[in-house]
Structure 1
Amino acid sequence: MPEILEPLGRVNFPLIGNSLVIGLFSLLHIAFASLAVGFMILAPIFEGIDRGDRFYTEVAHGLTRFTLVTFTASLVLAVLMIELFVGLFPRTNSWMFNQFRYPIYLAVAAFFIQLFALYPYYHFWEPIRRRSPALHRALGFFAAFFVLVWVAVLDGMGSYMLTPVSAEGTWGNLLNPTWMPLVIHRFFGNFVFAGFAIAAYAGWMLGRRRGDPEGEAYYAPLLKIGFLIGLAALLIQPFTGLFYATQIRSASPEAYAQLIWGRYRWLVYLQFVLIAFLFIGSHLVLRSIRTERGRTLPGEWILFGSALLMVLFVERPTLRRLFTFALVGLSFFYLYQWREGLRAAGGDQLNRSPVRRLAIGLGIVSLLTYWTMGTIRETARRPDTVRDIISLYDEARTPSYARPGSTPDAEEIGAGGP
């Protein structure tokens, strides 16, 4: 009589646990993916504003080349992340696929369509531009549009895991209360990171090519443009963040309370510390490159104080928002006040050590901010993988290959969702 083999027990990733390993790959993936999305949108815009000045076309070409590199790395990390998610959280994975079957088909189709537009846009750059610059730009915008479709569906799935709805059909699940706020918030977040990343790269290259007039002529204006993109998006982000937080509070008050007052509230403190650094660092860049010199103005001390009070009142949302928007208002005021100096700033102002270091620092802080915001959203639904539907206890109790009599991993249940 053949021996009956006992089914395999739950798979547990050694040392760091299932949740953390997926989280690490997710963070690496979104770092590359957000840059790819931001650059993919910026490239045809830069190409479109080129009016006889090859600088913007060269920037567009460089961004597209970097997009292909980051896109490839992002894709590899995404595949690894999905494979781990399928193997380590099979119940959640099968539930999500069934809830988003047709939107996933749309996302996959959009992904391949944008590839068919992106690769000719880069690899046949000059031949297509010689025949029709308008066609070439159209390919770039076409790729950007479909990558946004891809991202929007993924955001729909992520938002559903925090604020699920009971809808008829898979398309209704996409329209959950926090989907559009998340799409908008991440859209501008991509530009914060992409803009400051461009400035950081330009600052690093200026440091490497000191004394090279040709390098300074390219990288100094690149630093200024990247900085302005990052700062402009940063000034918008508090409004999109308020919209997103309000929707979370309305749709899932328990999740919102867990964010602000729960065991992971230190992440929210960290987030606002990083945001304060972004605002203060941006102001110091503006102050460093303006043409006129002077003492620190009283309004600047108010700006620094607002940043500090914003952090101190994290657990008092009304006061925190008051100081956040005071910080936004003052930052916009000084951007407008010093606009002429910023417009006139050239290599002499931009290729100085303090400006280069601040630009690199802003790039690093913007990446940390992006990672922290993503992590906060995931902790809001702990100990569930899909809030109020599937918990980590359910996942551990009934894995795909359950061993009779197996018990949940207590450490995994306490750690949180994937």
Structure 2
Amino acid sequence: MGGLTPNKMLSILALGAMVGLLLLPIVVSMPALAGGGGTPAAGGPPPDVAKKADTPEAAKVEKARDVYYKTEGIVSGAPAPKTADNPQFYPRYNFESRVLLWIANQQHLYYGSFVLAVPIFCMIIEFMGIVSKDKAMAKKYDQLAYDFIKISLTAYSLTAILGGILIFTFLTLYPAFFGYLSSIFRPVMHIYALLFVAESGTIYIYYYGWDRMKEGLLKWIHVSMSVVLNVIGTTLMFLANSWIGFMMSPAGVDEQGRFLGNIWHSIHTALWNPLNVHRLLGNMAFGGGVVAAYAAYRFLASKTDEERAHYDWMGYIAMAIGVAFLIPLPFAGYWLMREVYA
């Protein structure tokens, strides 16, 4: 313990806090995934019914069949709203609502894809620097990873702002729809929020702790934080994909759109896995292209040969990563479309 400096202690505590934030939502969500997160599981009665099992009201429990899984579950939610083309369901503000929603969604998707992909690049490149026996190459890899995360940090702030704008757009222009979707995924909404807080803390500690965690055990803790960061980011993406998948291929509800108590069925729709694979590959290809464009700009703006060489190499690595993930992307897209039209 004599070699345990305050910086090392701080790093270990920071890593422990991030791991705790990662595991807390998972622990909290386990009952939700198993039984609907406070709502009844597909095969069991809700808590209030269980308490009144010996009363006449127990006989009034309604069951229905899942439209996708074809299993029976206890009706635990209201039917999907029957909307009409009027201001109550679709408020109008002298502009096409779908265009506004598309703009907000598309911009959030652009930045979200970038900030999910770039930390994966950083994790791989930083690890390559650690295991490299050539000190000069190790330093180059470390600087490259630092440049990558520096770009990502700015984009992360914009992603959070655009996410808030997107939610505001849903609430303002499509209140009935968003209310229904929120009622279905209520058991995991708090998990999404906790993961977002955990990701924010992790990425800032990861970036600002770079110089203090350069060597030895501290460096391994630092690269471990990048693993935690990517696990959180990927989980966030998977949860967001479950909402998209539910919109296009509902599951966990009956033919009237009533929630049947099993949140895992609503998450794991027919399109969830194809969406996850397609978005992950797309994020990596998109992120590689954006970083390559940034490197090209910095190459042209550089005034020394050393800087030009660095940004030329950065652009080469980024483009190589982008192309590597672009090649399998059409196959993932084919799988997704095959499931859409199945």
* TM tier, smaller: 0.5 to 0.7
Question: Post-superposition shift, 1:55?
Answer: 1.5
CA distance in 2, matches of 1:154, 1:10: 24
Q: Conserved in 1, the CA contact under 8 Å of 2:126 and 2:223? A: yes
Question: Post-superposition shift, 1:157?
Answer: 0.4
Question: Post-superposition shift, 1:9?
Answer: 5.2
Pairing 1:197–2:290 present: yes
After superposition, where does 1:236-251 map in structure 2 within 5 Å? 236-250=328-342
Pairing 1:77–2:169 present: no
Q: Conserved in 1, the CA contact under 8 Å of 2:123 and 2:226? A: yes
SS at match of 2:279: helix
Question: Post-superposition shift, 1:89?
Answer: 0.7
Q: Conserved in 1, the CA contact under 8 Å of 2:89 and 2:175? A: no
Question: Post-superposition shift, 1:230?
Answer: 0.9
After superposition, where does 1:164-313 map in structure 2 within 5 Å? 164-167=250-253, 168=260, 169-209=262-302, 212-250=304-342
State the aligned residue count.
Answer: 242
Q: 1:107: which partner in 2? A: 192
TM-score by length of 1: 0.56
Identity of aligned residues (%): 20
Pairing 1:146–2:146 present: no
User: In angstroms, what is the RMSD of aligned CA positions?
Assistant: 1.6
SS at match of 1:132: helix
CA distance in 2, matches of 1:12, 1:94: 14
Q: 2:76: which partner in 1? A: none
Question: Post-superposition shift, 1:227?
Answer: 1.1
Q: 2:241: which partner in 1? A: 155
Structure with a larger share of its residues in helix: 1
CA distance in 2, matches of 1:15, 1:110: 37
Runs (5+) with no aligned partner, structure 1: 1-7, 251-418
SS at match of 1:125: coil
After superposition, where does 1:116-127 map in structure 2 within 5 Å? 116-127=201-212
Q: Conserved in 2, the CA contact under 8 Å of 1:100 and 1:171? A: no
SS at match of 1:126: coil
Q: Which amino acid aligns with 1:113?
A: A
Q: Conserved in 2, the CA contact under 8 Å of 1:102 and 1:171? A: no
Runs (5+) with no aligned partner, structure 2: 1-86, 254-259
SS at match of 2:328: helix
Residues 387-412 of structure 1: per-residue CA shift (max 9 Å, x gap): xxxxxxxxxxxxxxxxxxxxxxxxxx
After superposition, where does 1:81-92 map in structure 2 within 5 Å? 81-92=166-177
CA distance in 2, matches of 1:163, 1:175: 10
Q: Conserved in 2, the CA contact under 8 Å of 1:40 and 1:143? A: yes
Moved >4 Å (runs of 4+): 8-11
Q: 2:179: which partner in 1? A: 94
Q: 1:338: which partner in 2? A: none
Q: Which amino acid aligns with 1:180?
A: N
Q: Conserved in 2, the CA contact under 8 Å of 1:35 and 1:190? A: yes
Structure of higher RCO (CA pairs closer than 8 Å, 6+ residues apart): 2
SS at match of 2:93: coil
Residues 356-408 of structure 1: per-residue CA shift (max 9 Å, x gap): xxxxxxxxxxxxxxxxxxxxxxxxxxxxxxxxxxxxxxxxxxxxxxxxxxxxx
SS at match of 2:341: helix
Pairing 1:63–2:158 present: no
Question: Post-superposition shift, 1:208?
Answer: 2.2
Residues 120-174 of structure 1: per-residue CA shift (max 9 Å, x gap): 1111112123451110000111011101101100001011101112353222100
Question: Post-superposition shift, 1:87?
Answer: 1.8
CA distance in 2, matches of 1:221, 1:68: 21
CA distance in 2, matches of 1:96, 1:10: 14
Q: Conserved in 2, the CA contact under 8 Å of 1:181 and 1:243? A: yes
CA distance in 1, matches of 2:111, 2:341: 30
Q: Which amino acid aligns with 1:29?
A: H
CA distance in 2, matches of 1:33, 1:146: 13
CA distance in 1, matches of 2:290, 2:201: 26
Residues 206-229 of structure 1: per-residue CA shift (max 9 Å, x gap): 2223x6211221011111111111
Q: Which amino acid aligns with 1:151?
A: M
Q: Conserved in 1, the CA contact under 8 Å of 2:90 and 2:174? A: no
Q: 1:407: which partner in 2? A: none
Question: Post-superposition shift, 1:13?
Answer: 4.1
TM-score by length of 2: 0.67
